[in-house]
Each structure stands twice: as structure tokens, then as C-alpha cells.
Amino acid sequence: MAKYAILIYEDPNFYTNMSPEAWGAVIDAHDTFTRQVTELGGSIEGGAALASPTTATKITTGGALTDGPFVETKEAFGGFYVVEARDLDHAIEIGKLCPAPGGGVEVRPVVDPTTNPF
């Protein structure tokens, strides 16, 4: 089994005026997703939702600080899961189930630090 990151990119405005019931449905969808990962023979190794891009602070080489958001884009990095999967195809199958109603997800292998992936 290998590790893959499922990176969630969504339009933060999608959630701005969401009702408590709709937010609850999103949370329920993520709970369902975590069960589906196990049912597909994978496992979740970690993950988290991130606060709004407006709360970000960028630290550049040299230590300069800039408050976010930083890129004019419709979608922002909003959270992630790290999953164990048999291979990339299996990770993509899992990634397709990840709730991202305000955008989509990206599946990327996690690098083994003992080898140079480049």
C-alpha cells in the first residue's frame, strides 16, 4: 500500500451563506466518505479542513509576511485527506468519492522521504 493525498479545492464563497442544515449535510457526506474508504480496502491516515484563505499568512524566503488570500482564483485549498491505497488507480477511485460540492479534488502520491521522487 502507498500513501496518497486527496487535496480538496473549492470556492470558499460556496460555504458563505450555507444554512446549518446544508453544513450538516456536508459533514455527513465526509463521514460517509471515511466509511467508503475502508469499504474499498483503503485507510485514512490523516486529514483536516482548513480555515478560510483570508486567514492565511504567507512566509517567503527571508521571512517577509503577507496576509492572504494570495492568488486570484475561484477555488482555494480547503482541506485534505491522506489515504493508503493499493496504487494510483485505487487512490483515484477513492478520490472520486470525496465530497467537494464547491469544486473538486486532486489526488497526488505522498513522497517517501528516503528516495528522491524527481
pLDDT at 61: 85
Closest CA relative to residue 14, chosen from 59, 94, 74: 74
Q: Which pLDDT score, from 0 to 100, does residue 114 have?
A: 86
Q: Which domains does the chain have, with CATH numbers?
A: 2-54+74-109 (3.30.70.1060)
Nearest 5°: CA angle at 53, between 49 and 59? 105
The pLDDT assigned to 69 comes to 60
Spatial neighbors of 56 by CB under 8 A, at least 6 apart, are: 67, 68, 69, 70
pLDDT digits (tens, 9 = 90+) for 93-118: 999 999 999 999 999 999 988 887 77
**How confident is the model over 50-93, as pLDDT tens digits?**
988 888 888 888 888 877 665 566 788 999 999 999 999 999 99
pLDDT at 44: 97
Which is nearest to 103 in space by CA: 112, 95, 114?
95
